[in-house]
């Protein structure tokens, strides 16, 4: 047996409930394989009342990191040593990384969106006017990152008033982006000066694949970058309307891959093989 034998795999994974359909394992394992790393990504069912114990377990197993999904993204803040400033602003952590013995909370959802915007649409959010449909977790992550990256204004429209107002108050109090709330009732006209339009609602998510946000689509213009958070299927009716009108589009699959790539880079310290991750996820969604 050679002297340098090492059977010990490095461990990362996801805690959630329900978690069985979480697709992150597909892209993370594809990345480990691509780079020949002895790492494993585990999909772990953790009930809400067991989160503290699960984080203790993660420390005991010397896991390198973990993703958090429903219902743990907010409660996990109680069990970490540090939380990155953007994740603290959002009040939600979807990725934990290890720095020595410390567990640090991060949020990669909005960062994944920013990376898609910069790399795939060659656009910098600084000075841009943004319109966001929705005010849930994805909208919060995206708007906070856009605001921190220097977006000039953010218009949030949401069906439920209280949720939309809470998000806009947060943006106005904690960032320099001028933020406004519009109550979404009936068909919505997109503000004329919008540079970046984001569907951050769950409208269009599988199996509801023909659904699209109630908008006056004639107000979508070719100058806009139009983005959808829906990863599956990535070609949503909303993005098809945008393409038809000559707008640049970014899909939710790209955002999902980039947020995973950012997590991979935080955990391993290596550049993520983004294309291999994307191919693996596309294949899984086609099955």
User: Closest separation between CB of residue 243 and ligand NDP, Å?
Assistant: 18
Q: Which of 86, 106, 109, 241 binds ligand NDP (CB under 6 A)?
A: 109
Three-state helix/strand/coil letters over 135-199: CCHHHHHHHHHHHHCCCCEEEEEECCHHHHHHHHHHHHHHCCCEEEEEECCCCECCCCCCCEEEE
Build a one-symbol-per-residue string for 225-244: x at contacts with ligand NDP by CB under 6 A, - elsewhere. ----xxx-------------
Q: Which of 16, 105, 134, 273 binds ligand NDP (CB under 6 A)?
A: 134
Site for ligand NDP in 187-216 (CB under 6 A): 201-203, 205
The phi and psi torsions of 157 (rounded to 5 degrees) equal -120, 135
Place of tokens 């420390």: 59
Q: Which of 57, 91, 136, 191 binds ligand NDP (CB under 6 A)?
A: 136
The verdict on 114 binding ligand NDP (CB under 6 A) reads no
CA–CA gap between residue 189 and residue 217 (Å, rounded): 8
User: Closest separation between CB of residue 214 and ligand NDP, Å?
Assistant: 7
Site for ligand NDP in 247-276 (CB under 6 A): 252, 255-256, 259
Active-site residue flag, 102? no
Nearest alpha-carbon partner for 105 in 118, 96, 92, 114? 96
The verdict on 163 binding ligand NDP (CB under 6 A) reads yes
Give the alpha-carbon dihedral of 210, 71, 149, 188, to 10 degrees. Answer: 30
Q: At what angle do helices 109-120 and 137-148 cross, to 10 degrees?
A: 60
Binding site for ligand NDP (CB under 6 A): 109, 112, 134-139, 158-160, 163, 201-203, 205, 229-231, 252, 255-256, 259
Catalytic residues: 73
């Amino acid at each position: 047996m050679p002297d340098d034998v090492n059977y010990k795999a490095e461990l990362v994974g996801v805690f959630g409930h329900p978690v069985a359909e979480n697709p992150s394992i597909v892209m993370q394992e594809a990345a480990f394989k691509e780079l020949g790393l002895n790492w494993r990504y585990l999909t772990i069912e953790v009930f809400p009342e067991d989160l503290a114990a699960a984080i203790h377990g993660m420390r005991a197993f010397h896991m390198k990191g973990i993703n958090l999904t429903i219902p743990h993204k907010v409660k996990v803040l109680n069990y970490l040593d540090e939380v990155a400033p953007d994740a603290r602003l959002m009040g939600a952590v979807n990725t934990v990384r290890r720095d020595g013995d410390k567990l640090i909370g991060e949020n990669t959802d909005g960062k994944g969106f920013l990376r898609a915007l910069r790399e795939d649409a060659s656009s910098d959010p600084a000075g841009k006017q943004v319109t966001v449909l929705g005010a849930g977790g994805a909208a919060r992550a995206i708007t906070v990152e856009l605001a921190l990256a220097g977006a000039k204004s953010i218009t949030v429209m949401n069906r439920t008033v209280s949720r939309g107002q809470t998000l806009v108050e947060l943006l106005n109090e904690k960032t320099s982006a001028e933020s406004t709330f519009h109550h979404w009732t009936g068909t919505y006209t997109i503000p004329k000066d919008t540079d970046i339009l984001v569907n951050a609602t769950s409208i269009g998510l599988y199996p509801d694949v023909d659904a699209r946000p109630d908008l006056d689509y004639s107000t979508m213009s070719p100058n806009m970058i139009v983005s959808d958070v829906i990863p599956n299927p990535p070609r949503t009716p909303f993005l098809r309307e945008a393409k038809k009108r000559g707008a640049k589009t970014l899909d939710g699959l790209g955002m999902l891959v980039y947020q995973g790539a950012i997590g991979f880079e935080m955990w391993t310290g290596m550049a993520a093989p983004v294309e291999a991750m994307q191919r693996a996820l596309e294949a899984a969604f086609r099955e």
